[in-house]
Amino acid sequence: MSGLAEILLDEGFTVSGSDSQKSPLTQHLEQKGARIFYGQKSSNIIDGIDCVVYTAAIRRDNSELIEAVARKIPTLTRAELLGQLMTNYDTPIAVSGTHGKTTTTSMISHVLLEGSLDPTISVGGILQAIGGNIRVGNSEIFLTEACEYTNSFLHLFPKINVILNIEADHLDFFKDLEDIRHSFRQFTALLPSDGTLVINGEIENYQEIFDGLPCHVVTYGTSDSTCFDYSAENISYDENGFVSFDLIRKGQKTEHIRLSVTGEHNVSNALASIAVAELLGVSIDVIQNGLLSFRGTDRRFEYKGTTDGVTIVDDYAHHPTEIQATLKAAKHYPHHKLWCVFQPHTYTRTKAFFHEFAEALSHADHVILTDIYAARETDTLGISSKDLAEAIQKLGTDSHYFSSFAEIKEFLKDRWNTGDLVITMGAGDIVKLGEELLK
């Protein structure tokens, strides 16, 4: 929301809005001229508002939304506003997928900036290269993430679509995986006949997503260099855990690509980024330099600091596939023992993937569970982090549950040793724990 507000401010619109508390993002918007209210109440809908924009997380009983409807003020979802903004650009690019959207959008951003293509960028995390989550450029390129939750991405108007992966998630909205695949098919159908779909060919039955549609299709994948337009071979890691690989283009080995991030999942993200960049005419030298300059975004395997000789990293992973990818990547990062402090995100997701969470987390040496972060939910569904800790223990991995961050801090300080790696993980406020430890 803050990124779209910033675009509107830069285009001369008058913007007001609300948030639960002050943050660097709200203060930045205030400095740019926005009027920010703290706490959500009907009185925030002041005279002179022409349109109210709300996110998928806002329920129909929200006091501001009720007031806007009562006043007959036109309303738009965040996705609808994003779609309207995209229509002002000749080359709108939408990066979608269950996982990896922020990282891949950020990788593409680095490449486009390296090539001086001057894009407008809307990314779902804080990207240091643009000093935030938004950049307003002066070219015809608009790059954004495209989220499937509540079918938000069906309101967009892309020219290039990227589909990184399709897995079961957001089951508080979608019925099942087939329902999710249907939405990604609809998302692909948004492309015009001269549009292009860049899709991970390792998605099961990936052809179903675009069969019969008029768009051009570019495929990528890491598993078989003979099947895809872009693939990778000879994946290796340096002493810092950074990954590199040979780029295979249409079955032919071309360049050796080096990244400044770790993990095989980032090889896949890089392949998608390379495919998009070459569609835009960017040279491979510029692509290599842009990818090499990318060192991650906030909360994506982000190095936070070192205390008592222990390295603390923070990661946004909140789905079993993401957790497994992060912990697998951590194996290549210099460390002695790996501690994962995980905060489950929503009761719905924890219940739906209970056994998958246990399996994924068991790849750490030690696991610590916090209470479930409820986010938009209230119903516990009869599930708890204590249950998850016991399931991990049964798989043979040391696992503990604590109800407070204070208990976790004391436990860690008593147990960790010099050279250990601690990853705070989850989509809630678990990042605060690592920051408190470093204090």
Residue range 46-73, pLDDT digits in tens:
999 999 999 877 889 999 999 999 999 9
Nearest to residue 98, comparing CAs of 203, 221, 244?
203
Tokens of 126: 């804080």
**Which tens digit of pLDDT belongs to each residue from 91-115?**
999 999 998 999 999 999 999 999 9
Q: How far is CA 403 from the centre of its chain?
A: 27
Give me 18's structure tokens.
Answer: 């609300």
Known catalytic residues are 101-102, 145
- How many residues are there in the chain? 439
Chain centroid to CA 116: how far?
25
C-alpha span between 201 and 228 (Å, rounded):
7
Handedness of CA 59, 127, 271, 191 (dihedral sign): positive
What is the Cα 166 distance to its own chain's centre?
A: 14
Q: What is the pLDDT of residue 18?
A: 95
What is the predicted pLDDT for the residue at 191? 97
Q: Report yes or no: 9 and 61 within 8 Å, Cβ to Cβ.
A: no
CA distances to 178, 233, 255 from 248, rounded to whole Å, are 32, 7, 8
- Do 342 and 368 meet the contact criterion of CB atoms below 8 Å apart? yes
Q: Which two tokens stand for residue 320?
A: 């079993």
What is the C-alpha to C-alpha distance for residues 21 and 36, in angstroms, rounded to an integer? 10
Q: What is the CA radius of gyration of the chain?
A: 22
- Cα torsion angle, 282, 287, 291, 294, sign: negative
Helix (H) or strand (E) holding 134: strand 132-135
| Per-residue confidence (pLDDT) for residue 263, from 0 to 100 | 85
Sequence-ordered strand ranges (E) for 30-131: 35-38, 52-54, 75-77, 91-96, 120-127
Quote the pTM value: 0.79
pLDDT in tens, the chain (439 residues): 888 999 899 889 999 999 989 998 899 999 999 999 999 999 999 999 999 999 877 889 999 999 999 999 999 999 899 999 999 999 999 999 998 999 999 999 999 999 999 999 999 888 888 988 889 899 999 999 999 988 989 999 999 999 999 998 887 888 899 999 999 999 999 999 999 999 999 999 999 999 999 999 999 999 877 789 999 999 999 888 899 999 999 989 999 999 999 888 999 999 999 999 999 999 999 999 999 999 877 777 888 999 999 999 999 899 898 899 899 888 888 899 999 999 999 999 999 999 999 999 999 999 999 999 988 777 778 889 999 999 999 999 999 999 999 999 999 999 999 999 999 999 889 999 999 999 8
Q: Are 342 and 360 spatial neighbours (Cβ–Cβ below 8 Å)?
A: no
Using a 10 angstrom Cβ sphere, with 0-12 exposed, 13-18 middle and 19 or more buried, the burial of residue 395 is middle
Distance CA 431, CA 317 (A): 12
Q: Considering only CA atoms, which of 212, 281, 210, 291 is closest in space to residue 244?
A: 291
Is the separation of the CB atoms in 241 and 338 below 8 Å? Answer: no
SS3 108: helix
Coil vs helix vs strand at 63: helix
420's tokens: 């250990």
**Tell me, what amino acid is at 4?**
L
Closest CA to 197 of 188, 187, 185: 188
For residue 121, what is the DSSP state? E
Residue 25 tokens read as 């993002």
pLDDT at 46: 95
Task: Give the Cα separation of 303 and 334 in Å (integer).
Answer: 12
Record the tokens describing residue 160, joined without a space: 């290039």
- The neighbour count for residue 216, using CB atoms within 10 Å, is 15
> Which conformational region is residue 415 in: left (phi greater than 0), alpha (psi within -120 to 50 degrees), or beta?
alpha
Position 300 scores a pLDDT of 78
